[in-house]
């Protein structure tokens, strides 16, 4: 009798399990940079979300290589009718999906949430995903550029104070080479979206575009190009692929690594046996006046039925909540986009000062500008190629390069 009862109970539980699995709603999600976000999204946020929402399963698509790849993938999938439900897109690419009608406005969903504002999204960060008064992207990870330093190398070179200007960085390179660091620096010129070019422009208080027109054709643009040349030549910087840029630093072969704060968590997990420290991004003779906000937002592009769309909204809300944002900060180096996460992270930042550097720079947050029109991604590549020509030495006359680049980009912008 007991065996029969046990069999019945097990059978009933199995039926319930199969029925529950069959009725679960599956949403599909795409995100970039597996090296940065696998730990954050795949290993932490998705299991946490599925535990909190047992009726929803999250299927992760192949990760995007970078933000340009993320944008191109969604454009292709839109044409093919194979969009995911949720996509993580670079902050500077959101407008494209709003203009093309691919992204869904979050306003109807926010209106149904009586306590949506309780997580206290930072207005400056929320504004990055707001178009024509409606929210289309909720900030997930927000970054600023920082300096990463091998303090063992800096001490060996007799550098007692971390550089605060790019001239001081070049001087530090000379001292580091004198003690055996043949390639003392990597500076992230090749970060997606011409981010470091924009960082040099914003450091001078100037956007890369103004009123939809080229704005790097004046003194600020020339100063930015000359500063790059000074760094690349003065520090004899090697030309590394973006995906490989951190490897020599982690291996203690590069002493100074200027990159996004997003990489701090990955560096801490991969670095060799040396003392690691982050510090504020140097300026051009003075502290930066501003810096472009990097990172990405969560956008909803679902074409599924209402139940699937509602499930996608639950995932978006979870990712950008205080709980989700705290996971981002702990596993990467990104700044939380809301006040709730900051309140949760007070002790964490005291114990992890390397991840607090970007937070100290938060007052410098400026727009990460995308190029308007259908040539947006093509313009990004044109500027990328021009900057690489400085790294490789193919371009040596910065006045001529500036004129050529400004004219080409101007011809590709909408009239």
Where along the chain do its domains lie? 2-142+294-365, 145-292+371-412
Edge-to-edge strand order for the sheet containing 294-300? 56-60, 25-30, 86-90, 294-300, 137-143
Secondary structure string (H, E, C) spanning 214-239: ECCCCHHHHHHHHHHHHHHHHCCCCC
- The pLDDT, as a whole number, for residue 19 is 42
Report the distance separating Cα 335 and Cα 320, nearest Å: 12
- The pLDDT, as a whole number, for residue 232 is 97
- The pLDDT, as a whole number, for residue 18 is 43
Looking at domain 145-292+371-412, its CATH architecture is 3-Layer(aba) Sandwich (3.40)
- The pLDDT, as a whole number, for residue 12 is 47
The answer to whether the Cα torsion of 209, 213, 214, 215 is positive or negative is negative
- The pLDDT, as a whole number, for residue 20 is 44
List of the chain residues with pLDDT < 50 = 1, 5, 10, 12-13, 15-21, 118
Asked if the domains 2-142+294-365 and 145-292+371-412 are classified in one and the same CATH topology, the answer is yes
- The pLDDT, as a whole number, for residue 345 is 85
The torsion defined by the Cα of 192, 247, 287 and 391, in degrees rounded to 10, comes to -60
- The pLDDT, as a whole number, for residue 16 is 44
- The pLDDT, as a whole number, for residue 243 is 86
What rounded mean pLDDT belongs to the chain?
91
| Exposure letters 86-96 (e unless 16+ CB within 10 A, then b) | bbbbbbbbbbb
Question: Domain 2-142+294-365 belongs to what topology?
Answer: D-Maltodextrin-Binding Protein; domain 2 (3.40.190)
Contact predicate 395/388, CB 8 Å:
no
Cβ neighbours, 10 Å, residue 82: 12
The torsion defined by the Cα of 38, 43, 48 and 50, in degrees rounded to 10, comes to 90
Q: Where would I find the beta strands (DSSP E) of 181-221?
A: 185-187, 209-210, 213-214
89: which strand partners?
Answer: 297
């Amino acid at each position: 009798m007991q065996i029969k009862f046990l069999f019945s109970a097990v059978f009933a539980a199995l039926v319930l399990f199969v029925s529950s699995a069959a009725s679960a709603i599956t949403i599909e999600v795409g995100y970039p940079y597996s090296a940065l976000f696998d730990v954050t999204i795949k290993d932490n946020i998705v299991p946490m979300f599925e535990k909190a929402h047992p009726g929803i399963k999250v299927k992760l698509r192949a990760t995007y290589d970078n933000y340009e790849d993320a944008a191109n993938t969604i454009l292709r999938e839109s044409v093919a009718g194979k969009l995911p439900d949720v996509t993580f897109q670079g902050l500077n690419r959101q407008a494209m999906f709003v203009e093309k009608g691919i992204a869904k406005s979050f306003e109807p969903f926010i209106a149904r949430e009586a306590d949506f504002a309780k997580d206290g999204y930072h207005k400056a960060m929320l504004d990055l995903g707001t178009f024509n008064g409606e929210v289309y992207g909720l900030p997930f990870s927000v970054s600023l550029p920082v300096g990463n330093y091998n303090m063992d190398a800096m001490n060996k070179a007799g550098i007692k104070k971390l550089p605060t200007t790019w001239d001081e960085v070049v001087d530090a390179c000379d001292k580091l080479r004198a003690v055996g660091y043949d390639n003392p620096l990597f500076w992230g010129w090749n970060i997606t979206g011409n981010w470091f070019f924009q960082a040099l422009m914003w450091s001078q208080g100037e956007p890369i575009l103004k009123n939809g027109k080229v704005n790097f054709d004046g003194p600020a643009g020339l100063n930015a190009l000359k500063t790059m040349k000074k760094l690349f030549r003065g520090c004899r910087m090697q030309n590394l692929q973006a995906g490989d840029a951190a490897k020599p630093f982690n291996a203690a072969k590069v002493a100074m690594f200027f990159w996004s704060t997003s990489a701090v968590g990955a560096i801490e997990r991969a670095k060799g046996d040396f003392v690691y420290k982050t510090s504020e991004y140097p300026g051009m003779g003075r502290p930066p006046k501003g810096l472009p906000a990097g990172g990405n937002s969560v956008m909803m592009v679902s074409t599924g039925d209402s139940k699937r769309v509602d499930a996608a909204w639950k995932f978006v809300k979870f990712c950008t909540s205080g709980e989700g944002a705290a996971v981002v900060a702990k596993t990467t180096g990104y700044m939380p986009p809301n006040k709730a996460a900051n309140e949760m992270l007070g002790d964490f930042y005291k114990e992890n000062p390397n991840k607090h550097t970007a937070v100290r720079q938060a007052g410098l947050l400026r727009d990460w500008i995308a190029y308007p029109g259908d040539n947006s991604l093509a313009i990004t590549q044109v500027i990328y190629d021009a900057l690489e020509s400085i790294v490789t030495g193919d371009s040596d006359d910065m006045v001529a390069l500036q004129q050529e680049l400004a004219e080409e980009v101007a011809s590709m912008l909408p009239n």
